[in-house]
Amino acid sequence: MKSYRIEWGSHRLDLGNTTRIMGIVNVTPDSFSDGGFFFDCDAAVARGEKLAEDGADILDIGGESTRPFSEAVSAEEEIRRVVPVIEKLAVRISIPISIDTTKAVVARQAIEAGASMINDISALRSDAEIAGVAVKYDLPVILMHMKGTPESMQVSPQYDDLTGEIKDFLKDAIERAVKRGIDRRKIIIDPGIGFGKTIEHNLLLIKKLKELADVGVPVLIGPSRKAFIRKILKDKAGNELKPHEPAVETGTQAAVAAAVLAGAHIVRVHDVANTVSTVKIIDALKKA
């Protein structure tokens, strides 16, 4: 497994020997997993502090749900949700804070408030100006594959060559970012589990994650509590499980373990404490 070091400002991420954990804080009323739980600023700040205490290496703060069939919110509303949370967290924790947004104006204000990474699920396609924000502040950027938009991505997604098409998309996204001035050494890719993929697509992506390794940048993956896990597990009546049922977290940890074995450098999760234990064991197995 190839190792990487990303250095910027006062932060450094060594990726490869130790799997890094990104903790999720959704400051939204409607995210699929924890929408509404941390919509209040103080609750979101407390959640971020808890995830950092539990062992997160990065916090990812988002103010717009990207669950299947979700609708976009305005930049003004997104800023209202995330900026106060980031301002408070930035002076309380030392780990980098990532802003999960596709909008340049949101990214800019989040960075001014203390964020130091950009997680763009559109891979710079939604807002052409977001690359300029990353360049201005010289920050790491996460580029994700998504087929369609959150409103449409889960309507019969199809691929002729799943890993090949996603790999080509991410290669193009990297080159597009570099042409716009982003330092290649600060780019991370995400194959986009659950974003325009069926259950089988998600399973194959995790299984074949190594095929993305030769793209030449670190790989992040986010299987946490996703629908493919909930649908595989089901209850006795055959119904999809709810995101907060204990079995879903167990399933998430199984997916995390498989992803780390397959080459993920960073895992994006809701439950950091459980994930710390999982990746310690898998990292030890990889080194044995």
Give the active site residues: 226, 268
Give me the helix-helix angle, 199-207 and 246-261, nearest 10°. 40
* Neighbouring residues of 181: CB distance < 8 A, sequence distance ≥ 6: 131, 132, 135
Range list of β-strands (E), 76-140 = 97-100, 117-120
CB 144 within 8 A of CB 123: yes
3-state secondary structure of 137: helix
Place of tokens 């990889």: 286
- Type of residue found at 33: S
Question: H/E element holding 190?
Answer: strand 187-190
